Amino acid sequence: MAKYLMSVFGPESLYDSETYGYESQEQMTQSMADTEAFNKRLEEQGYLVTADGLEAPGTATIVDGMGEKPLFTDGPFAEAKEYMAGFWVIDVPNRDIALQLAAEASKVCIGKVELRAMMAEPA
């Protein structure tokens, strides 16, 4: 089995509307229901490690503990057009299954999904 991170990205402005960037309340409600069903199926298949949405990038705190005293800075580390809005961690037999699940995740959440393998532990 191999672990993968499936990340959903979107603009920070999606946090500014009641529909979180969806075209309508109905589309958001349907996407949330589809995502919940997708998550349940992942869990039933034994692939789901964890999944969640993230608060707005402005709520982030950057922590630099490399010096004598830790430094805490409000706001996201990167200045970007899009930020990670949510994620899944899956544990699947192979990359083909991970790609298939990422395509399904993209469809249910109506957004692009980045798929990245997690580093394997040294043998």
The pLDDT tens digits for 67-96 are 999 999 998 777 778 888 999 999 999 999
Q: Which residue reads 């589809």 in tokens?
A: 34
CA distance 35 to 32: 5
CATH code: domain of residue 92: 3.30.70.1060
Examine residue 122 and state whether it is found in any structural domain, yes or no: no
Q: Strand, helix or coil at 116?
A: strand
pLDDT exceeding 90 applies to what percent of the chain? 63
Range of the domain at 72: 2-117
Q: What is the reported pTM?
A: 0.86
pLDDT exceeding 70 applies to what percent of the chain? 98
Examine residue 123 and state whether it is found in any structural domain, yes or no: no
Among residues 8, 25, 3, 4, the alpha carbon closest in space to that of 105 is found at: 8
**Burial call 60-90: b when 16+ CB within 10 Å, e when fewer:** beeeeeeeeeeeeeeebeeeeeebbbbbbbb
